[in-house]
């Protein structure tokens, strides 16, 4: 790890030092820098630690798993059974139900971080990360939330774990500024309590939109659901097992098209014809669609029954909004008190990662299809961008740890006495933390 000793020397003659970070604190990290302390960042750090590789996790929020702790609704449960959502090296407690609640999942992640002694640097946002070819190292620049202090982490490896859901997608709808009621994204929605007795328009018919509608019904609000696209709705369980588990098992034996036909037939028996409820199905089957486009089928937890009973009304796309009214593309218009945008999330990687090889600038996801998008050039890795939820996270995390361990061990052989130049007390803390 002689490279770390070189860093300070080269910095003196640093041709790349930009003005903004000229006075930044510099931290030499012997192991990888991991950006994001969600399930993916934690899983990668735990797998690395298990193999004796220390890492530093940088997180913009004040807690681990901020998507789950700060940006999700109260009634949220894991959509998939727990055996498909546990992180490597530590199963869920046996007493947890098949679909753990949000709080149980957060408790599990807190216990996970404790068990592997993972202590992220909280309230620090990564503003840029760039590979410095002259040093052969990644330069990761961060800004602290409160004192705005700038820090540059220098490392041989960079693991991107900022997630497919880093930023809320807020569509531009004509007349949005005119609408007098609140317009909130699901990332700010906690429960239907504040919408009691209100007419609420929910835009987007994925799992979140469907569940928010159900939640609103439970709080005596009157939800309407905007369904613009086709959507596959499947029962959460079939033949006494989870639909997801059944699909995963069938796909081992049958072609995906047969699996889809089987799932759609069973869905038809159990849920009826969803087209009659205003929910047209895509031409491609649910599993093939997930594999080719990443679009997740909705797993019904009771919303369809509410649509069927008329408690939730299905509406077409919105053409424009006015003060109290949504005008739909079919010419209808209806008054609402509030609008909830269940319009999803997007990756923020292109806004801070200067490398353009691993990630696409367009959608911030790896350019190479699963399972090949986890590794880039020069020690760059991605974890949790597989469109396969936490199962994909576990697969990535294990591969990354295995890969880095080989290099780590090779380089450790050359390690005689590692002394980082001008060490700060913080630096020593970081080295021994994760």
Ligand X SMILES: Cc1cc2nc3c(=O)[nH]c(=O)nc-3n(C[C@H](O)[C@H](O)[C@H](O)COP(=O)(O)OP(=O)(O)OC[C@H]3O[C@@H](n4cnc5c(N)ncnc54)[C@H](O)[C@@H]3O)c2cc1C
Sites of contact with ligand X (CB under 6 A): 35-41, 58-61, 65-67, 72, 76, 78-80, 85, 125-126, 161-166, 208, 348, 352, 384, 389-390, 393
Which single residue brings its beta carbon nearest to ligand X? 38
CB 3 within 8 A of CB 415: no
Query: Nearer Cβ to ligand X, position 151 or 336?
Result: 151
DSSP calls for 407-432: HHHHHHTT-S----SS--HHHHHHHH
CB of 100 to ligand X, least distance (A): 9
CB of 218 to ligand X, least distance (A): 17
Round to the nearest angstrom and report the end-to-end CA distance of the chain.
Answer: 18
CB of 323 to ligand X, least distance (A): 31
For ligand X, the closer CB: 42 or 420:
42
Our CB check for ligand X shows the closer of 247 and 321 to be: 247
Residue 20 CB coordination number (10 Å): 12
- Cα-based distances in Å from 254 to 122, 138, 267, 287: 46, 45, 18, 12
Nearer to ligand X, 41 or 286 (CB): 41
170 or 322: CB nearest ligand X = 170
CB of 247 to ligand X, least distance (A): 14
Nearer to ligand X, 58 or 338 (CB): 58
Q: 321 or 340: whose CB is closer to ligand X?
A: 340
The Cβ of residue 197 has, within 10 Å, a number of other Cβ atoms equal to 9
- Check if the beta carbon of residue 348 is closer than 8 Å to that of residue 128: no
Of the candidates 14, 17, 32, 28, which has an alpha carbon nearest to the alpha carbon of residue 156?
32
- The residues, any chain, with a CB within 8 Å of residue 12's CB and separated by 6 or more, are none
Residue 44: how many other CB atoms lie within 10 Å: 33
How many residues comprise the chain? Answer: 434
Tell me how far apart the alpha carbons of residues 6 and 419 are, in angstroms, rounded to a whole number: 11
What is the closest distance, in whole angstroms, from the C-beta atom of residue 254 to ligand X in the complex? 23
Minimum separation from the CB atom of position 306 to ligand X (A) = 19
Contact 63, 122 (CB under 8 A): yes
Cβ neighbour number for residue 124 with a 10 Å cutoff: 22
Q: To the nearest whole angstrom, how small is the minimum distance from the Cβ of residue 58 to ligand X? A: 5
Longest alpha-carbon distance in the chain: 75
């Amino acid at each position: 790890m002689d490279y770390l000793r070189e860093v300070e020397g080269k910095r003196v003659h640093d041709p790349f030092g930009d003005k903004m970070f000229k006075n930044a604190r510099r931290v030499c990290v012997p192991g990888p820098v991991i950006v994001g302390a969600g399930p993916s960042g934690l899983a990668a750090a735990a797998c690395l630690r298990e193999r004796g590789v220390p890492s530093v996790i940088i997180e913009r929020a004040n807690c681990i798993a901020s998507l789950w702790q700060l940006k999700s609704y109260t009634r949220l449960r894991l959509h998939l059974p727990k055996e498909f959502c546990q992180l490597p090296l530590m199963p869920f407690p046996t007493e947890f139900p098949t679909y753990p609640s949000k709080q149980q999942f957060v408790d599990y992640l807190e216990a996970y971080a404790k068990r592997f002694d993972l202590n992220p640097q909280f309230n620090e946002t990564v503003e840029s990360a760039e590979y410095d070819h002259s040093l052969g190292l990644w330069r990761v620049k961060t800004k602290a939330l409160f004192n705005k202090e700038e820090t540059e982490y220098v490392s041989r490896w960079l693991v991107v774990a900022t997630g497919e859901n880093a930023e809320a997608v807020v569509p531009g709808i004509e007349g949005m500024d005119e609408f007098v009621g609140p317009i909130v994204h699901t990332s700010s929605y906690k429960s239907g309590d504040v919408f009691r007795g209100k007419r609420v328009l929910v835009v987007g018919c994925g799992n979140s939109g469907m569940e928010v509608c159900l939640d609103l019904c439970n709080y005596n609000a009157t939800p309407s659901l905007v369904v613009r696209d086709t959507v596959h709705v499947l029962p959460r369980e079939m033949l006494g097992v989870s639909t997801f588990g059944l699909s995963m098992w069938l796909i081992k034996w049958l072609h995906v098209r047969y699996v889809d036909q089987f799932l759609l037939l069973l869905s038809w028996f159990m849920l009826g014809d969803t087209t009659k409820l205003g929910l047209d199905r895509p031409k491609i089957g649910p599993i093939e669609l997930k594999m080719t486009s990443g679009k997740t089928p909705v797993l019904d937890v009771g919303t369809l029954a509410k649509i069927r009973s008329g408690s939730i009304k299905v509406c077409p796309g919105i053409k424009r909004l006015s003060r109290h009214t949504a005008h739909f593309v079919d010419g209808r218009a209806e008054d609402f008190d509030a609008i909830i945008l269940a319009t999803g999330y997007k990756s923020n990687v292109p806004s801070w990662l200067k490398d353009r090889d691993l990630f696409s600038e367009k959608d911030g996801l790896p350019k190479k299809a699963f399972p090949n998008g986890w590794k880039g050039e020069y020690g760059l890795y991605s974890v949790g961008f597989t469109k396969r939820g936490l199962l994909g996270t576990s697969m990535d995390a294990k591969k990354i740890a295995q890969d880095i361990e080989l290099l780590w061990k090779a380089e450790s052989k050359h390690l005689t006495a590692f002394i980082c130049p001008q060490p700060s007390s913080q630096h020593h803390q970081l080295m021994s933390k994760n």
